[in-house]
Amino acid sequence: MTEVRPCADRREFFDRWAADYDLTVESGAGAFPFDGYQEVLERVVALAAPTRGMSVLDIGVGTGALASLFLDHGCEVWGVDLSASMIALARARASGLSLVRADILAGWPVELPARFDRIVSAYTFHEFDLATKVKLLDELARRHLSEGGGILIGDIAFRDRRARDAASRVWRDAWDDGESYWVADEASEAARGQGLTLHFERVPPWGGVFALCPGSAVRDVDDAGAVGGRGGRI
Task: Report the C-alpha gap between 10 and 123 in whole angstroms.
Answer: 14
What is the model's pLDDT at position 11? 80
Three-state SS for 46? Answer: helix
Whole-structure pTM value: 0.88
What is the model's pLDDT at position 228? 37
The burial class, CB within 10 Å (0-12 / 13-18 / 19+), for 30 is exposed
Q: Are strands 76-81 and 98-101 parallel, antiparallel or unpaired?
A: parallel
Range list of β-strands (E), 95-168: 98-101, 116-122, 145-158
What is the model's pLDDT at position 191? 94
What is the model's pLDDT at position 208? 96
What is the model's pLDDT at position 106? 94
Domains in the chain, CATH or no CATH each: 7-216 (3.40.50.150)
What is the model's pLDDT at position 3? 42
pLDDT-flagged residues of the chain (< 50): 1-4, 215-234
- Letter for the amino acid at 91? R
Tell me the CB-side half-sphere exposure of residue 57, using CA atoms within 13 A: 23
